[in-house]
Amino acid sequence: MAQTLPNRDDRIELRTTRDEKRLLTAAAAHERLDVTSFIMRTVLPAARDVIEKAERISLSERDSVRVLDLLENPPAPTPALLAAARRRVARGGDGA
């Protein structure tokens, strides 16, 4: 069964130097791709990596143990936290 490619209707303008354009065109030709496909194939995985790294929190083993301990044995609320909760309730906020 033939794979259908998504329509590429959105547009991004890319300004390059003449030499950069020649380089991209030559590289795309070596891969038997048009320049857009070459750029997208190269850039999209890098973009996914950047987003994954930005959105993922990595903890050391020590920090992971600390977080689990705090979840199992939460500290008593501080006066500031209690005051914030009272203000929230007074405003009619239910947290939803």
Neighbouring C-beta atoms of residue 39, cutoff 10 Å: 16
Percentage of residues of the chain with pLDDT beyond 90: 79
Answer yes or no: is 10 within a domain.
no
Q: Of 35, 31, 41, whose CA–CA distance to 16 is shortest?
A: 35
Q: What is the pTM of this model?
A: 0.55
**What domain range includes position 28?**
18-90
Distance between CA atoms of 16 and 39, rounded to whole angstroms? Answer: 13
**pLDDT, tens only, 31-59:** 999 999 999 999 999 999 999 999 998 89
Answer yes or no: is 7 within a domain.
no
Distance between CA atoms of 44 and 66, rounded to whole angstroms? Answer: 36
Contacts of 82 (CB under 8 A, 6+ apart): none
Total of domains in the chain: 1
Give the mean pLDDT of the chain: 91
